[in-house]
Chain A
């Protein structure tokens, strides 16, 4: 049975406990030793998912000029959303990984095996959500859905830390039921809510969201596509061998350059 996250953005209070719990459990360092700059983008100072930020809370201020507040999420509103790897049913990163480093686990989550990853970066361009990133060690990193905790029967650190149950962990089918109930409840309150990440999006996202505005408002694509969608045409035009050579060459070239960049970053 697939395990995943259901993130109800309407109960997110933007406390970032998920970010801190994730850092702590996975022993991820803070950016720049914690000495970052004020972004000016609402209360979002980490700005993006990255090799060291596997959770990222977004803040979207939609305050009307007259500052009218007419009910929950009506009139002025400040949307908050804890972003994370979507653990897609049809995962682009997994599809393109040339070394087999990216696997689907027994929990139906998408996991990067660090000892197999060669840092080729194919997964980065293959992810339509901008989730995967290369770390200072030259390898690809992203949310593991706390694979180590799941193996011990524990829930992921972020879900456990979330004080309002905005992040829920469980069987995806159960979670989807909860989400549908919540959507119905919100609709009855005249809030235009919907689930983002049902089957029409990459066969379903095992980490899905309840949103109240267009996906783009939250920095999510309306119609994410898989890399294979484009690659098919190339196959027809160039044939299997040519494509293989081209891809391998590109990967080698990119890896060399990226390793260099990663080393340079590491020296900062």
Chain B
């Protein structure tokens, strides 16, 4: 959903997000909803500026979200509050699952297919019954015990209000208040929204937290409807764009999975299509998108005879995300690092480990506005002797956003163009300038090479021209044109991705962005016509300028709005097409009464009553047979570091979490009495991330000048800590000093009968800048969600003591992380054979055999 549509919600649940503080501009629409009488609920360990503006704040301890959300699912089913017609038609509730499937209910916390040695699941038994060559078998009466709905009912039956209370630390009454508000405000005539941010993603079970929300919203029939759905609040400017285009190792532009060396099927283009693209639903077009991408990248070198140069694409040999990449630096496998728009020395988790990794590099290219911590990691205060770090650091000053033009893609997939309003100063250059001129120089170096491994680089097309003037600034519109795609003969821009063909005639850089530049000289991202609602004339949202995805679900199976109050997109029988306030997220003329023929494939395989066009069966997945590696249904596992035994299952923590049991990353055992305090990290309105864009600005630093930890008066009393008094916070990784902010906005929780304290630490400070201070990211361990390898920064354990005791405590932490490798750099460098071993030992890529779509 888009942020402005929040004002049409009848109830908004904000969870895993501190929206008022971290997305204050979008929060305007939450306030509009409240002024209209909507119920605003904030569920969070802390009472924040978001809670202050909600109708109800429910405190739960960090990392217990699945228990709470699972409780909602149980409540909805037990009390028959689910939207029957929506669920039966638009979700896979009726689909029959394989008889081989075993649930956590059968295996006490595990799903079938678990490989203990490999710490991973084989998802074969999670499949639907029958063959993929025919439509999934269903039982619309929902009587079959193996249908998804009955599995869901059994799976969540133990998530009672009392269990929610035991796990989360809220009262059953608080839980039921939330459940009732959500159910009362969902249905034909009312809709509810759920907003989340990195408070959900940064967990070992983060993806499953979001899955829970999807199940809740599908059962209540809120998805695809006005004022309803799930709003993923992205972490910073254009991070949505960088997953779309993307800057990720496991995806190509437009959510096409990157080829993997671990999957033999990916050896050929046909094999890749077969392995990653479903035959039914919209993704059946995936082959055309891939070929058009290859054609845009490799031009004449891509032909039907050479698989459109598919072999030129590099294949992932493992997990190359942030944490493994930094481990690879420590291992001596990665020797150079270009760091653009990031500050791992302060913003990385287990930040000292990140610095240790960079200390093992040959070179580091740093581009930023200021000499942030990463640019000067070698002279951090805790580096005893900077001369032992041999990394050669190149600092290239970058422009600020006002000194370059380009597009932002915001949290609601909306592209908005920004113009240049000032010339760059001195040597500052835009990121586009850097990439363009780097290419030109590399190209010169590769020129004339006949080495086969250089062929891909030399075959690469380059359509970007330079602007007149001494800067030789590349033309950003040229890049947009390439992203949009064109008809090969005369480069007429493509108007829509529907025109993309699998014959090489429509080169296209990012298929989901096709239409942003539909004609020469027309840049829709620059459009600035707003109206009272969907504002289709303001900017441009992918795909096809649709503002709410799956909006076919805003109409009933016959194509009529569920209610006049919640009309959004509907079938117009006179015009024989879908119409409404938004661009229909559906084939425009596919009638609701049209019948699908499975063997035809693509959208023709599916009936006109389905709404979820990107799914192979057209149904929202309450149960996910493929695509998620840690289970077809969410289950509550404790955070990797937790003070309590899992009250729900024998299995304590995610059995497939990504774990790095290595030097410089010591974990805390379950219930370790030395680390009894739950801690979470977060951001404040006044700062941005680890501070590169705020800690150098006195107007912002004076608003939040010093690092602090928020603790309750109860904890402060136990530890003899005073408000604004110094204290030391430590984990086995690190110890930091900071001031205490003692406030009743924090409170202790009773978890499974045990009283536990919860602390909260913002992560905006480090040693450089106008203001400096202790870094909460130093405290965090490296452990990650198995689907997306995101770290668990939102729930871990720590100890807090009064006073500045870092120097006294550090010697008591023998396994602490150190900023320079413990052994000499040369010794740490393995011989080439050892490096090959290291590469070979990397985890094979855990590519789910499904399709990513964001």
Contact = CB atoms under 8 A, between A and B. Distances in A.
Interface of A: 11, 13-17, 19-20, 23-24, 29-40, 42-43, 45-46, 61, 63-65, 67, 69-72, 76-80, 163-165, 185
B24 interface: yes
Nearest to B56: A69
B704 A45 contact: yes
Contacts of B50: 13
A175 B1 CA distance: 33
B214 to A, nearest CB: 27
B699 A13 contact: no
Interface stretch (B27-35, B315-323, B821-829): B27-35
Interface of B: 20-21, 24-25, 27-28, 31, 34-35, 40, 47, 49-59, 684-686, 697-706, 708, 723-724, 739, 741-745, 747, 770-771
For chain A, what secondary structure do more than half of its interface residues adopt (helix, strand, loop), or is it mixed? loop
A72 B24 CA distance: 19
A35 B745 contact: no
Given A14-B685, A34-B705, 7 more contacts: A30-B702, A34-B702, A35-B702, A38-B706, A40-B742, A78-B49, A164-B27
B744 A34 contact: no
A38 B109 CA distance: 46
B49 A34 contact: no
A13 to B, nearest CB: 4
Nearest to B704: A45
Given A38-B741, A69-B51, A163 B25 contact: yes
Nearest to A39: B724
A163 B741 contact: no
A13 B685 CA distance: 10
A35 B57 contact: no
Nearest to A44: B703
A45 B705 contact: yes
A165 B28 contact: yes
A34 B697 contact: yes
A71 B51 CA distance: 11
A34 B699 contact: yes
Contact of A13 (B53, B59, B701): B53
B57 A163 contact: no
6 contacts: A30-B702, A34-B771, A37-B705, A67-B47, A72-B40, A78-B745
A16 B705 contact: no
Q: Which 6 A-B pairs have the closest CB atoms?
A: A34-B698, A40-B724, A30-B698, A63-B744, A78-B52, A34-B701
A20 B699 contact: yes
Contact of A78 (B47, B741, B771): B47
A80 B702 contact: no
A95 to B, nearest CB: 33
Contacts of B697: 34
A43 B687 CA distance: 13
B51 A40 contact: no
Most buried by B among A40, A45, A76: A40
B701 A65 contact: no
Contacts of A80: 49, 52
A165 B25 CA distance: 10
B702 A45 contact: yes
Given A33-B698, A34-B698, A163-B24, A69 B58 contact: yes
A33 B55 contact: no
A32 to B, nearest CB: 7
Contacts of A19: 703
A36 B684 CA distance: 17
Contacts of B55: 71-72
Given A14-B49, A71-B56, A24 B699 contact: yes
A115 B801 CA distance: 55
Nearest to B42: A69
Contacts of B705: 34-38, 45
Contacts of A30: 698-699, 701-702
